[in-house]
Amino acid sequence: MEPIHNATVYIVDDDSGVRDALAWLLRSRRLLSEAFASAEAFDARVARGFEVQSPSCVLLDVRMNGLSGLAMFEKLIAYGLLPTLPVIFLTGHADVPTAVASVKRGAFDFFEKPFSDNALVDRVVQALTQSAAALAQRSETTSLRIQLDGLTERERDVMRLVVEGLPNKLVADQLEISVRTVEVHRARVFEKMRVKSAVELANLLRIL
Q: Which domain holds residue 189?
A: 150-205
pLDDT tens sequence across 140-155: 998 999 999 999 999 9
> Is the domain of 40 the same as that of 107?
yes
The CATH number assigned to the domain holding 160 equals: 1.10.10.10
In a domain, 143, yes or no: no
Model confidence at 3, pLDDT cuts 50, 70, 90, reads low
Number of domains in the chain: 2
**Which is higher by pLDDT, 111 or 4?**
111
Judge contact between 70 and 104, C-beta under 8 A. no
Domain boundary, last residue among 135, 161, 178: 135
Q: List the end-to-end C-alpha distance of the chain, in Å, as a whole number.
A: 34
pLDDT, one tens digit per residue, over 42-89 is: 999 998 889 999 999 999 999 999 999 999 999 999 999 999 999 999
- Model pTM? 0.81
Q: Are residues 120 and 175 in the same domain?
A: no
CA–CA separation, 34 and 45 (whole Å): 11
Same domain, 25 and 95: yes
**Residue 118, domain member (yes or no):** yes
Question: Do residues 64 and 94 share a domain?
Answer: yes
Does residue 130 sit in the same domain as residue 154?
no
Instruction: Give the model confidence (pLDDT) of 153-187 as tens digits.
Output: 999 999 999 999 999 999 999 999 999 999 999 99
Work out the percent of the chain whose per-residue pLDDT is above 90.
85
Q: What is the CATH number of the domain that holds 129?
A: 3.40.50.2300
DSSP for residue 65? S
Give a yes or no: residue 142 inside a domain. no
Q: Are residues 29 and 115 in the same domain?
A: yes
Residue of 132, 134, 128, 133 lying closest to 29 (CA atoms): 128
Residue 2: per-residue pLDDT: 54
Domain match, 95 and 166 both: no
Task: Compute the distance between CA of residue 163 and CA of residue 195 in angstroms, rounded to an integer.
Answer: 12
Residues 106 and 188 in one domain: no
